Amino acid sequence: MKTLSVIRLKGQADRRLRAGHQWIYSNEVNTSETPLKQFTPGDQVVVETAQGKPLGIATINPNTLICGRLISRSTDTVLNKSTLVHRLKIALSLREMTYPAPYYRLVFGDSDGLSGLVVDRFADILVVQISTAGMERVKNEIIEALQDVIKPSAILMKNDGKMRQIEGLDSYVEEAFGTVPETVFLQENGVLFEAPVWDGQKTGWFYDHRENRKTMQGFCDGKRVLDVFSYVGGWGVQAASAGATDVTFIDASKSALDYVTGNLKLNQYEGVSSLIHGDAFDSMQSLIDDKQRFDVVVMDPPAFIARRKDIKAGEGAYHRANQLAMRLVAKGGILVSASCSMHLETARLHDLVRSNSRQLERFSQLVYRGTQAPDHPVHPAIEETEYLKALFYRIHNNMGL
């Protein structure tokens, strides 16, 4: 193995790494002694304290705010096929002890010791997303390691995420191995789905709400359900399969709603279903104007807060979305308020719903607090890995309280 170059941190800049975090910010590097501009994006380097003590090996990108991502706390372990195989086996063991069928997120970035790598599994088909220069550098090794550990029939590289632009990486979607169909089948909570892996959002499916959807099913038998921002029907189709007699789906994507229709047929749903193609806010207002009410309303929007600077505007969007949703909940019904914005804390989401309750003179009771599924494990030292929340409320008229 060739000798790796070194980056040296400023004084006290190693404290977060010693506490378990894996990221290095560009302003933490002593650029007088170890200029970042000497490196090429994706290089592996030895990280040293200000005193010259080695902390481990990281991949480096001199052009980004998060300039380093720790691979190992040993200077003997580089990011290569052997390391990838070892960590993939550990990741696989967690998923296999958690789920009986091979439908899950196999790799969740930092939480699996593979910062910048996401892999979703759909039986023998894998969808891979690489978001950092370090992982892009070992793309071929990733593919080979996945073939060794999983032995898939095909691998799709879905490398079109926003993070790639920040990292200076090209955007592309291509088969790395085998033939990947336009859509793949999966099973979640006993319900069958077809997901668009080539043209859909992210990897084509969102496994993270699995446990929250399972909880929601318990409220749906014989009920009328509204699924807002439905995408391909992850919530609403599971509500239908749990006995809902009437399910309405709202989404801005016509193709996503076409998948909803297919997924309802796939599960032989015989109840009433309605598809509303349009802006979620406008569509909810129209339902309110028509005096429509639902026993269960699921509000699972995209991330309204992508960055810290978006917090104020994003919170306004969450407030408005939940207020409209709450107005559509029938007396004694359930509101599921979800968020995938890491920058929106659970307590803040709860506060927004509380505020809506007072403004609308509703009496709300928090009955369930959900988070991401076990195949999206949280790294205890990296708060960014704990991003998902789902709060279930029972909504009543004011009751004089």
Q: Which residues are catalytic?
A: 340
Quote the tokens at residue 237.
């189709």
* Helical residues (DSSP H) of 243-395, grouped into ranges: 254-266, 280-289, 311-327, 346-359
**What is the gyration radius of the CA atoms in the chain, in angstroms?**
23
The answer to whether the beta carbons of residues 335 and 300 sit under 8 Å apart is no
What span, in angstroms and rounded, lies between the C-alpha atoms of 22 and 1? 23
What span, in angstroms and rounded, lies between the C-alpha atoms of 303 and 340? 5
The answer to whether the beta carbons of residues 161 and 202 sit under 8 Å apart is yes
Measured CA angle at 123 (ends 180, 118), to 5 deg:
75
Q: State the maximum Cα–Cα separation within the chain, in Å, rounded to a whole number.
A: 74
For 286, residues 6+ apart whose C-beta sits below 8 A from its C-beta are none
SS3 16: helix
Work out the burial of residue 336: count CB atoms within 10 Å of its CB; fewer than 13 is exposed, 13-18 middle, 19 or more buried: buried
For 319, residues 6+ apart whose C-beta sits below 8 A from its C-beta are 352, 355, 356
Quote the tokens at residue 347.
């307590």
* Residue that is written with structure tokens 């998902």 in the block: 388
Phi, psi angle pair for 27, to nearest 5°: -80, 0
Angle between helices 139-149 and 81-98 (to 10 degrees): 50
Could you tell me the CA-to-CA distances from 388 to 5, 118, 371 in Å, in that order?
38, 16, 5
Q: What is the 3-state secondary structure (H, E, C) of 151-164?
A: CCCEEEEEECCHHH
